Structure 1
Amino acid sequence: MAPAITLAAEAPKLSAANTGFMLIASALVLIMTPGLAFFYGGMVRVKSTLNMLMMSFISMGIITILWVLYGFSLAFGTDKGSFIGWTSDWVGLSNIGLTELWPGYTIPIFVFMVFQLMFAIITPALISGALADRVKFTAWSLFIALWATVVYFPVAHWVWGTGGWAFDLGVIDFAGGTAVHINAGAAALGVILVIGKRVGFKKDPMRPHSLPLVMLGSGLLWFGWFGFNAGSWLGNDDGVGALMFVNTQIATAAAMLAWLIYEKIRHGAFTTLGAASGAVAGLVAITPSGGAVSPLGAIAVGAIAGVVCAMAVGLKYKFGYDDSLDVVGVHLVGGVIGSLLIGFFASGKGQSTVEGLFYGGGLTQFWKQCAGVFAVLGYSLVVSAILAFIIDKTMGMRVTEDEEIAGIDQAEHAETAYDFSGAGGGIVGGSVSALAGTESKKVDA
């Protein structure tokens, strides 16, 4: 008998299917940022609508350029001390071959790079919801540039980069519970503790001006989130991405229903704002956990997140911090819940063989999740507060009180979201006959 011949494992080859899938997923993640802009834009008062939209849109410009120049290298380059990465050939994306593959996968480096870029864009945009009505646009732009550099890029390396300490520890974060949601939520809390409350907080009504915009935004987020979550497996070969897709839908539905049931019991009504917020809470919570839990586990994760986040949004009134659009209550709390519940609901039949407490695995994974959660939370909270303090003491973080009362849209952008002068609902500055037909009245739109 001839001696057996052992063949070396074949090197991965570029997969057109996976490459196409990941490009579509990248586009889906990008649409989440305009979706977030509409979601936040509908939740603020009329006089702040454009500013809220712009705070998300500017992230698409600033973070893209930083990511190309050095962000990708810092986040995913060769590990330096388990804290940061660096690959000089990736600076400016100048030395990457068109068909050069991301190590261990069947997609080009360019595809992986642009997919991760979309995560880098939306993460600082999430912070903006906590700062509505009161932050200078120039200060916000500088803040997100600095924050991405010293917070997001390093944290992304900790969690997802080869050699990052959380990655090596075995912290599970499928698509961004720690790196995106806890990171952004903790940053939001750090900034608002520095810059303070809106004028009239807890005194004046600050209701959403357009619930249809809120629902449109949440719908775009839900749609785009399938790329955010399922795409994070970087391929479509073994069914894990499909599991994540399914669990994303299930957990979001469960969270929305749980939030609505809670607010009906607590406040007596099923609200559209509650439906939208509950859906987002479910999306946040399943983001880290969806590749590790079963579909039944996804129901549990979503339902728990829906109720706990609904309870958490009221904490700002109890503790007196002005989280304008509930970034802390939904993203920070939802991210913590989704990340920690992996330690209980991991089935061992998804992205890895890791089992949680309810599947016989004990609390080992739970403690690993705690390490990742609280390290990211503490780092982002402290560094974000320091950045906000420095900016506030140098160029000023807030608009003046008069500008805030009059409306930040006009002060910062010289525009308003709605122009009623030609809408046909009245004649601005003109005269119309009174219903009695005998007098004219001035109509002030």
Structure 2
Amino acid sequence: MYKQPHPPQQSTPRGWTKVSLSDWLSNWQKQDPALRRAHVARLVDTLSAPDNSPHVQQAMKEQAFQTLEMLSKSDPAAYDQWLPIAIRRRQRQFEKILAERQERSVEETHARETGHQPPRDRQQMAALGQGFHYEDIPLIDPTDLAFITENPQFLGPPPVYYNAFESACRKGCLATVQSTLSSETCTSTPAFLHHGLCLALKAGNPDVARYLLASGAPIIRRTPEHVLSSPLEAQIPLFELLFEHGWATNTPGMYGAVLLPSIMNNHTLLEWFLAHGADPNLGQQQEHCFGDSITNSCSALEKAVYRGDVEAVRMLLDAGAVIHNGFPLHAAAGARPPDWNPRNGYQTLSKDFDRSRIPVMALLVERGADVNQYQGPQRGNQVSNYAIVEAVMAGAVERVRWLLENGADPTVRGSWGSAAECVAKIGSQEMKLAVEAGLASRKWVDK
């Protein structure tokens, strides 16, 4: 008897080579109907086994479910068997998520009451074949899990009103959105409304977004980031709309991340954020998914510096950005062009790009940056430790000259040696001459 091979978690069935999913399903359709029914029955039996069954491992059940799900896309009989199983799985998943949220809430409350740090977040489980995107979205019904990922995944066809609603949110057709939400068939849960809100924000449709917010769409940690995908002229009106509904420029996102570092290329928006209280010293932490921001971050300043954006750097410093929260001078000294490829080995930068970072370096030093500041390991990774070594390794001859002229010490040793030692190993002839001149002048001695 022919036995149809199981497809693995990827698109190619195990034991087959160079076979697409469509070919695999086509081959399945060519089999005798009785054999197909028998194979589906075996998959269902595997999935029906108790979780503690000694004969069926959890990995086998997961493989069987994925195979049955794949077959259901082209085989009505397989679909009829798969759908109730998928609905039961989603119900269990829904209950598990609610239980985990309750447990986390208790832990966070206890931590606040005792003054202790909440425990480090556990690895979040995957859902529907991908990680959760909106982990803090309100969940009312198991069907809401379709909207916990960025791209909704329904069990079976979406609701009859869904496609028109989604299109209206994208195109800004407020009348269609209103009629959809007012219909008796529409289940307007917060998760469903939030999905529409995200679509409207990304498309730059403030009228639809305003209506959805008024209808109960929540603003969760990842909601505001969708505004940055909208047309530039729509971004400030959309942020103002969110601001009116309780969001603030310092509202923490996932792991406490704020949006400020993401808008360095838009001075108008940056000015709006700072005028509305954005703190340039807030940033992302690593331990708590729903925790607050750290208050001694240099992410925004370092990003602006790396881009060589003097105006943005000045705006951040004037707003209170603390240089010594991080290593912005190192970032500017080691900045490389977007097309730089580390696999190409040592590369000398073009004069124009090299010099383009000197104005921000000068501004940083003017505002108190130390040209010989030591940078320790970052998250366990070794770094070059000194700005001048960063510049040498970037092939930035003009920056090296500027740093030497302003008192950088080419002899101080870091994890990868001193600037003078690095130049001897990998530097161009022009770089070697620049460092030799700096060694002769010894300007760091007078600093």
Q: Smaller-chain TM-score range? A: under 0.3
More helix by share: 1
The TM-score with structure 2 as length reference comes to 0.23
The TM-score with structure 1 as length reference comes to 0.23
